[in-house]
Amino acid sequence: MVRPDSRSRILAAATPMFARRGLNGVSVRSLASAAKVNLSMISYHFGGKEGLYAEILKKQFEGFRYIDDIAKRDLPPMEKCEMYLRGTIRRYRENPYLLRYYVSELTNPTPCFKTIVRPTVQRVLKVLRATIDKGISRGRLRKTLSPADGTLALAGMINFYFLVAPAARGFVDDHPGRDEELVNHFMDILRGGIVA
Amino acid sequence: MVRPDSRSRILAAATPMFARRGLNGVSVRSLASAAKVNLSMISYHFGGKEGLYAEILKKQFEGFRYIDDIAKRDLPPMEKCEMYLRGTIRRYRENPYLLRYYVSELTNPTPCFKTIVRPTVQRVLKVLRATIDKGISRGRLRKTLSPADGTLALAGMINFYFLVAPAARGFVDDHPGRDEELVNHFMDILRGGIVA
DNA sequence: GTCTATATTGCGATAGAC
DNA sequence: GTCTATCGCAATATAGAC
């Protein structure tokens, strides 16, 4: 096991720090000290703090690629919804920082918002909407369903679940072991609502 | 129309600035210049930048008080859900900054998170959950519904709608004129899901 | 690639005159 | 309450030795 080079060490140390405190909440000094590199290394490798942030954000957003699998497949709409729920849960379990970068960019956008964040969000929404559109036209989903609002409801329930988790301690006992249950609960709501 | 005093001017100028750029993204100098006050006024009135932020956050979070109206009333669960949706929409329309403070605290918590944010979130979730619990025990909601996950699904769809709005330009044409439609679409999903 | 040393600017906060 | 002036320190970034 060789010691990772300084570039990798910077990326590894910076990823959780930016996630927790945002671009403006982290100084190059604290980055360098956490990564155990000289502070000039950040400029050397990434051209400055913002360059480092942009590189990390770009890498984080590759976690959204699973949406393309959903787009390609020809499956009934409810199965695609389930794929989306499972893919989203998996994405956040595998990478606990992605949601923070994502939401942080939505509320306090950096220059990366236009180049990386918005195009990705639009892509995800577009795929989900196409699924719903097709489901309606094929008679699988009810024809009074609004494709746009339905998409946002679907994306909202699962994303908000992870977003609010840190403030919901004691409300849900969130852990990977209940993911299957979570998918089933949300799918039940999509299938038949909440009414008896 | 008299000129507001310096304290009010600081609050008025700082509210949108913290909302857009976060606590760490705003300097006292930029605050003072936007509010057209001397920079020493921030320490004088609020004891520093963090004190100012805390005061604004506290005031913003008063926007969640409508949840107590819902808690007090004795209404069928679906009517309470509709009250919650309408109240949430109204809250974000009346105060376009609240969601940013809210979500920003969830992803990049400041010292206010423990004192203000988490207690408020817990309060909202508790009220919604109590509504669902009662709805189930009275046979109005289906007995297989998970109260916790149902709560998060409900809160998620409407909160995410506003959260993602800046990145969803062109996807939904969001404006107050369609709020009634939005409530109806979400209520339809809660009533019967999305399946035909 | 990695370091030291430093340039330069900006930061938050406050002392003290008025 | 409001101002000027300034303190002390942190910020990002880079020049230049090795």
Residue A43's contacts (CB-CB under 8 Å, 6 or more residues apart) are: A28
**Average pLDDT, whole number, for chain A?**
96
Protein CA at A169 to nucleotide C1' at D18, angstroms? 53
pLDDT, mean of residues B7-27: 96
Structure tokens at A136: 């309606």
Q: In the structure, how far is the CA atom of residue B46 from the C1' atom of nucleotide D2, in angstroms?
A: 15
pLDDT at B130: 98
* Spacing of A105 CA from D9 C1' in Å: 30
Q: pLDDT grade, residue B163 (50/70/90)? A: very high
Mean pLDDT over residues A176-193, rounded? 97
Residues linked to residue B169 through DSSP beta bridges, in sequence order: B172
Alpha-carbon separation of residue B172 from A98, A151, B96, B162, B166 (angstroms): 24, 10, 17, 11, 10
Confidence of residue A50 (pLDDT cuts 50, 70, 90): very high
**A174 Cα to chain B: minimum distance (Å):** 11
Query: CA of A164 to nearest chain B CA: how many angstroms apart?
Result: 7
Does residue B60 register a pLDDT over 70? yes
Indicate yes or no: CB of A24 within 8 angstroms of CB of B24.
yes
pLDDT of residue B4: 72
3-state helix, strand, coil in chain B (%, to 5): 75, 0, 20
Burial of A59 (0-12, 13-18, 19+ CB in 10 A): middle
Q: Give the model confidence (pLDDT) of B68-113 as tens digits.
A: 999 999 999 999 999 999 999 999 999 999 999 999 999 999 999 9
User: Does the pLDDT value for residue A132 go beyond 80?
Assistant: yes
Mutation site for A-interface testing, chosen from B80, B120, B160 by largest number of A Cβ within 10 Å: B160
Q: Where are the alpha helices (DSSP H) in A62-146?
A: 66-72, 77-94, 98-107, 112, 118-137
CA distances from B42 to A76, B19, B21, B101, B125 (A): 58, 18, 18, 20, 35
The tokens describing B17, both together, are 């600035």
Per-residue pLDDT at A8: 93
* pLDDT score of B1: 52
Whether the pLDDT of residue A3 is over 90: the answer is no
* Chain C bases having any atom below 7 Å from a protein CB: 1-5, 10-16
- Is pLDDT above 90 for B2? no
Written as six digits, the tokens of B8 are 């009010």
Q: Is A122 exposed, middle or buried (0-12, 13-18, 19+ CB in 10 A)?
A: middle
Contacts of B165 (CB under 8 A, 6+ apart): B172, B174
Torsion of CA B102, B105, B107, B109, to 10 degrees: -170
The pTM (predicted TM-score) of the whole model is 0.95
Taking CB atoms and an 8 Å limit, are B194 and A117 in contact across chains?
no
pLDDT reading at A2 higher than 90: no
Is the predicted pLDDT of residue A1 greater than 70, yes or no?
A: no
How far does chain A reach from its first CA to its final CA, in angstroms? 58
> Helix axis angle, A98-107 relative to B98-107, nearest 10°?
160
Whether B63 and B100 have beta carbons less than 8 Å apart is answered as no
pLDDT value at A174 more than 80:
yes
Which pLDDT score is estimated for A52? 96
Could you report how far apart the first and last alpha carbons of chain B are, in Å?
Answer: 58
Size of interface A-B (CB pairs under 8 A): 215
Provide the pLDDT confidence category of residue B3 given band limits of 50, 70 and 90. low
Smallest Cα distance from B107 to chain A, Å: 5
Residue of A nearest to B146 (CA): A185
Helix axes B28-35, B6-21, angle to 10 degrees: 130
Residues with Cβ < 8 Å from A37, sequence gap 6 or more? A6, A9, A10
Average pLDDT over residues B162-182: 96
Enumerate residues 6+ apart whose C-beta is below 8 A from B54.
B111, B112, B116
The first and second tokens of residue B142, run together, are 């289906």
Distance B41 CA to C18 C1' (A): 16
- Residues A107-114 have a mean pLDDT of 96
- CB half-sphere exposure, B89, CA atoms < 13 A: 22
Longest dimension (CA), chain A: 63
Summarize the confidence of residues A114-135 as an average pLDDT: 98
User: Per the CB < 8 Å rule, is B168 touching A142?
Assistant: no
Whether A143 shows a pLDDT value over 70: the answer reads yes
Interface test with B, best of A108, A162, A174, A181 (most B CBs within 10 A): A108
Average the pLDDT over A142-163 and give the result.
98
- Interatomic CA distance for residues B31 and A152, integer angstroms: 35
Instruction: Say whether A20 and B185 touch across the interface (CB within 8 A).
Output: no
pLDDT value of position A74: 95
Q: Which residues of B touch A183 (CB under 8 A)?
A: none
